[in-house]
Structure 1
Amino acid sequence: MRKSLMRLTLRQLQVFRSVCDSRSYSRAAEEMALTQPAVSLQIRQLEELVGQPLFEYVGKKLYLTEAAEALKRASTDIFQRLESLDMQLSDLQGSLQGQLNLAVESSAKYFVPHLFAAFKRQQPDVSLHLTVVNRSQVIKRLSDNRDDLVIMSLVPQDMALEFLPFLNNPIIAVAPPGHPLYRAAKLTLQDLEPYPLLVREPGSGTRKACEEYFQQKRAHFAQILEVTSLDAQKECVVAGLGLALLPRHAVSLELATGLLRELPVEELPLFRSWCAVHARGKRLTPVAQAFLAFIREERAQISALAERFAGTLPATTAGS
């Protein structure tokens, strides 16, 4: 090992990671409560120890060099090991402490806080850092080892991953109360085809699951309106702009208050499982291990919790 690397300090790595995340010396200085010259000095000293430039400007935008990317990966490992050590020391003292870094697909953001709250009642000294992204961003974060665990459905088969399914994610068709299909006793997917369908952006897990299902069921929607957030998608349905297929967990409040109605489509709900996922061989922190153990062992409690998100119509069997 280069002797110069032995002189790296954790403070230098903290400043470096802040610049990486913000792509700005001034924003990093603000975040770290330092002056901009102090940040510049720390990065300059770090570059001298590494022996290569870490950042470069193209136009007015700051980019990471290859050396910076390598250092960023190494620093992530270092801080994860220190966090794990802190948790292990707390565990030896008889209490589990630390932070769970969790990334979730956007449609899981309604249920997961309640799931973590149930976990926290057993482990009151743990905290949560929650990142909400779409499916394609979750996959990128898995590749970059950004989180302790991710919650997603449709786990990629072409990646070396460990996953634990723990809850059904029923996808249902919803419409506003005044819609022509609202009072139908029974519908098929083909009955929905004449109406505009509101979908999420490419990269959404719900959109991917629905598109695959439509293909399987030979359902074709000529009028597609793309909306880039789940909350906006729900609001567009409430406004009468079209129908949508959405996770029931995400629309429980709207169903309960009558803002939306679940359509009795024979082929729905479409069931997918929420899974807790991490890279195969990843060294999990004690908090992450405890959270996995909780969702593995507390199925009855999780099922009871999910009842609160059941919506207003009884579930039907998914189409084969």
Structure 2
Amino acid sequence: MTDDKNKTRKIRVGFFTGTERPKAPKEHIFAARAAFEKLHSANKDVLPLTYTVDKQGKGLKVVLLEKDELSNTFFGYVSWRRHSLLPFIEDESGLERTITLGDTDSVVERTYFIYYYKTDLLALTLNHLGPKVNDFAFALYQQGGLENIRFEAIWKEEDVKDLLETGNVLRSVDLTIAAPRNFNQANYNFENNLTKDIVNMVVGMGGTYLKLNLRGRARAKKDGFSYLSGKVGDAVKELIELFPFGNGGLNIKKADVTEPSDSKPKSLLGQVLIGKKTINVIGGYPTESDIRIAMVAAKIDNGKYLAQYELPDSE
């Protein structure tokens, strides 16, 4: 029998930076920070604080566990109710049993966050069944009611990410994608219609691979020449950021793009910056303290690279 004290699980941490920047030094604070401060000020002497948004009936909520003025961080989690079929529990003999829920009980999926409010950097655990970064941003916006809040994933190579930015065009896109049999589209909110169409095609393949090859050609237009629509790059970027390698969602086996000026394919796989840590669990669950320590350690591991994304204090 394995000692429960020695059981471990791996967590994956993604890194994001806010897209709403102060227009000038000391002019105003970051949009995300303003939303956090508003939530915290509601009752700063009593933590945790909870704010709920009934998004699609899932009970999306932000729970603020701690504000640390030494590290300049907010720590907590964003969660929602799980509507998919539940897993089974297996004992040492291989016997499986169900998870029994009461009539008013729900299974909830958590995504933990650490927001560095003086540099507008966000660390987020990656849980393919739990809320995603866009859900988190939506909840903050709903709570703050101040400004639009968005977070951009940090990539390992910004020049590769730049290929997919709005306004840039591509010569070709080659994708190979599969969906695990337990993949649930309801766990994701896609911003781009093309992303939705691609996911629908993958799911419709019934577990086999979808190979998608998109080719553009130069054609005259008023301002020069155009290849693939910018909407294609937006959809590919969304797929790569929502489903980084090993996240448990769609399995993207190949994602190659070429530029109009360079026919050599560039791979997008593994480009999203992710930290990986191992934590102890008791009864299948880690402590919130251990989660926080692991997330901070993941940031430290990538500290030199992340430093270029940490903005100076806006106060």
Fold similarity call, TM over 0.5: no
Which TM-score band (shorter chain)? under 0.3
Bigger Rg, structure 1 or 2: 1
Between the two structures, name the one with larger relative contact order (CA 8 Å, sep ≥ 6).
2
Please report the TM-score for the alignment, with normalisation by the length of structure 2: 0.25
Please report the TM-score for the alignment, with normalisation by the length of structure 1: 0.25
